[in-house]
Every structure is written in structure tokens, then in C-alpha cells.
């Protein structure tokens, strides 16, 4: 079997700066790279100019775009839930597709039940910079209170992970028939728990990174028959690139396609919707909801570090300091340094025109305001 490929996806709302390679057939911003660069040492990665995502995982975003473009959804106020979202690849892909089609008239809720993974998800969403993404860390059952709230739900559920065998040796060690059975039951529970929050006529996009039919086609059929839905038949589009059709979905196998293993299928909810409750996203206590410009500490206004990374950042609000690569890496290492001639107070450090974050120039040096959890740990 061939070695695992490396791929990225550009953030078109921050330009197309970053590593270049061969186009991913099913993603307009995807690039297959010939080798793996040091992303950690690339300031453009930290600026949110691109996201490192497996090309097979990008197929879920392709199905999402097909559904949005063909299902006749209202072209305003679309509400989408990415149910099992960490570390953020599908979330950022979906956000990009929504913004390209709807501008800022959408809401994307990105959820991860595991707290540590939710923190990583929140950081990656901050780097991407789209203010219309809310990040939550809830059990899927918590969304049942938002009855009929979402137009589309993307559920990339935990699975037995056969599609990761080439990339992750731990996936091989952890696999067993018992794990497959456990995952199949857990997936049903997740789908049943969140089902009330999908509106009647809404679409579930269901995906895994395994090849097991009981976790893929069988579970999508179970959802259609038990919860109430019509499966959207798969269409032959990318067979020349190795994408296989299964009974109810699409299968990408590591070694057949450049990326790792992925399965995805979709259905339309047909079961009747109960009367909506008057709930809002705030009831889920999101970790992130929009991007604040900053906050007052006494009489002083302290800029929010994430604001500099936002696609809505006002470049006239603060002085922009263009730096070279060594200085950008010092900033990302969270070092203090001097910038001769810089204005006193808050400045924004930029690399190749892309904001990285804030410093506060106090004269002899600049205090670094990069969040501690995002600093580069390796020597630079």
C-alpha cells in the first residue's frame, strides 16, 4: 500500500497563500502536496490561510455542497450542525461553502463532546476566522431540546477506524470485531439522540472513516427505517479517481484514492416534526459564539486575540506591522521582542500581509498577546 498523502485546503477569504500542489478533484480549494512541509514553522498556517485536511475527508464537504445546491433550501438563514466536529476540518470546509453561497446569512454550530478535543476545535475555528461558527461541547442528546432547529446535520461519527490503518498504527491495534459492534450501537444512539433537532425535510449527512457495512450502509438504512427518512441515492461522479459507490453511499479506500478511508451517505428526514420549543444556542453554553473585538479592563480596552484572525478584522483599527519569517516565528513562539519605530500601544503583527495577532509596544519591547495555548513549542 502506498504512503499516506498530504493535503491542505485554502481559506479563500484569506487569499490562496500557502503550499501549492495538485488540485483535489472534489474540493475547489483543496491541494494534494508532493511532500509534507513543516506546517508548524509556516506562519501562514497559524494565520488561518489554509487548513491541513485529508483529501478523502474533503468528500464530506463535497456532498454538503451538492445538497445545499440541489435541495432547494431557503437561501437565507441556513442553520447547520457539525455534530462530531473535532479537530475542525469539516467545520471549516462547511463554513467556507456556506459563506461562498450565503455571505454571512448562516449559522454553523460545531460540536465536540470531549472537552480536550473541543478546545482544539475552538482554536482551529479561531484561526479560520469565520464569526458565524459557534463551538459547543455537548453530548448529542443535548441538541434534542432544539427541536426542528437545523436544516442540515453533518455527523462524522466515532467508528472502528479501518480507513486509518495506513496512517495510524494505533487504529490497527485497537480494532476488533467487538469494537465494530460497539461502534455500530454507539452510532445508532448518537443518531437517535440528535434526531429531534433536525427539521422535517432537513438532511442528515452521515460519515465514518471505516469500511464496515454495519457502520455505514446498514446504519444509514436503520436511520431511514427507524427514525424516518428517505436515503439520497449516490451518484457516480468520481469513479475515475477511485471513489466507489456502495448501496447507499460513497466509499473512498486508502491506496485507491490518494487520501485515507472515508464513507459518506445522506438522507432526508421525513418523520413529522414535533412542535418547536423556544430555545436558542445560548442554552448549550457555547465555548465560542461570534468574535468579540475586545473587552474593557477598567478603563483600558484590551483587544481580543481572535479578532486579528477574523475575516471581518478592520485593518484600519490598529497599526499593522509587517515582519519577516524569523520575527513571525518569534511572535508565534510567544517571545517578547522590540520593533523599532512601531507606535506605542497595540499593534498587529503580519506576515505576507496576513495578521497573526496582537502585541503591545511599551517602548523598549513589545509584550506578546498570543494565547499561551497556541504558541509554537519547538525551538525556532
Nearest-angstrom CA–CA distance, 51 and 30: 9
CB-based contact 113:137 (threshold 8 Å): yes
Which candidate, 155, 149, 189, 193, places its Cα nearest to that of 283?
Answer: 149
| Cβ-based neighbours of 54, under 8 Å, separated by 6 or more | 5, 7, 89, 259, 260, 262
Q: Tell me the C-alpha to C-alpha distance, in Å, between residue 6 and each of 57, 167, 209.
A: 12, 11, 17
262-269 vs 6-10, strand pairing mode: unpaired
Nearest-angstrom CA–CA distance, 221 and 224: 5
- Catalytic residue positions? 209
- Per the document, the length of the chain is 380
The grid cell for 352 is 505576507
The grid cell for 108 is 454553523
157: left (phi over 0), alpha (psi -120 to 50) or beta: beta
Which residues share a beta bridge with 78?
106
Which candidate, 263, 265, 258, 264, places its Cα nearest to that of 55?
Answer: 258
Residue 125 exposed, middle or buried by CB count within 10 Å (0-12, 13-18, 19+): buried
CB-based contact 83:140 (threshold 8 Å): yes
Q: Cα angle at 21 between 15 and 25, to 5 degrees?
A: 90
CB-based contact 87:105 (threshold 8 Å): no
Amino acid at each position: 500500500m502506498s504512503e499516506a498523502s498530504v493535503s491542505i485546503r485554502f481559506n479563500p477569504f484569506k487569499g490562496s497563500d500557502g503550499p501549492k500542489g495538485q488540485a483535489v478533484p472534489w474540493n475547489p480549494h483543496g491541494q494534494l502536496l508532493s511532500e509534507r512541509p513543516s506546517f508548524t514553522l509556516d506562519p501562514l498556517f497559524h494565520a488561518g490561510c489554509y487548513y491541513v485536511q485529508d483529501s478523502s475527508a474533503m468528500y464530506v464537504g463535497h456532498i454538503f455542497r451538492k445538497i445545499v445546491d440541489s435541495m432547494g433550501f431557503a437561501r437565507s438563514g441556513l442553520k447547520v450542525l457539525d455534530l462530531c466536529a473535532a479537530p475542525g476540518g469539516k467545520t471549516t470546509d462547511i463554513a467556507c461553502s456556506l459563506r461562498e453561497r450565503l455571505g454571512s446569512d448562516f449559522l454553523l454550530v460545531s460540536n465536540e463532546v470531549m472537552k480536550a478535543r473541543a478546545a482544539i476545535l475552538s482554536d482551529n475555528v479561531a484561526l479560520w476566522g469565520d464569526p458565524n461558527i459557534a463551538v459547543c461541547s455537548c453530548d448529542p442528546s443535548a441538541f434534542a431540546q432544539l427541536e426542528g432547529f437545523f436544516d442540515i446535520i453533518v455527523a462524522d461519527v466515532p467508528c472502528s477506524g479501518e480507513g486509518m490503518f495506513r496512517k495510524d498504527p494505533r487504529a490497527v491495534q485497537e480494532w476488533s470485531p467487538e469494537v465494530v459492534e460497539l461502534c455500530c450501537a454507539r452510532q445508532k444512539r448518537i443518531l437517535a439522540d440528535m434526531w429531534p433537532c433536525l427539521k422535517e425535510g432537513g438532511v442528515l449527512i452521515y460519515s465514518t472513516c471505516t469500511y464496515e457495512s454495519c457502520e455505514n450502509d446498514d446504519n444509514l438504512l436503520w436511520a431511514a427505517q427507524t427514525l424516518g427518512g428517505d436515503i439520497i441515492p449516490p451518484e457516480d461522479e468520481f469513479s475515475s479517481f477511485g471513489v466507489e459507490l456502495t448501496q447507499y453511499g460513497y466509499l473512498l479506500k486508502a491506496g485507491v484514492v490518494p487520501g485515507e478511508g472515508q464513507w459518506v451517505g445522506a438522507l432526508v428526514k421525513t418523520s413529522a416534526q414535533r412542535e418547536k420549543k423556544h430555545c436558542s444556542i445560548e442554552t448549550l453554553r457555547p465555548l465560542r459564539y461570534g468574535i468579540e473585538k475586545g473587552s474593557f479592563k477598567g478603563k483600558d480596552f484590551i483587544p481580543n486575540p481572535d479578532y486579528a484572525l477574523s475575516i471581518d478584522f478592520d485593518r484600519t483599527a490598529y497599526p499593522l506591522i509587517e515582519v519577516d519569517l524569523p520575527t513571525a516565528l518569534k511572535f508565534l513562539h510567544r517571545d517578547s521582542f522590540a520593533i523599532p519605530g512601531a507606535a506605542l500601544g497595540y499593534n498587529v503583527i503580519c506576515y505576507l500581509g496576513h495578521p497573526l495577532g496582537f502585541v503591545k509596544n511599551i517602548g523598549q519591547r513589545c509584550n506578546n498577546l498570543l494565547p499561551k495555548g497556541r504558541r509554537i513549542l519547538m525551538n525556532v
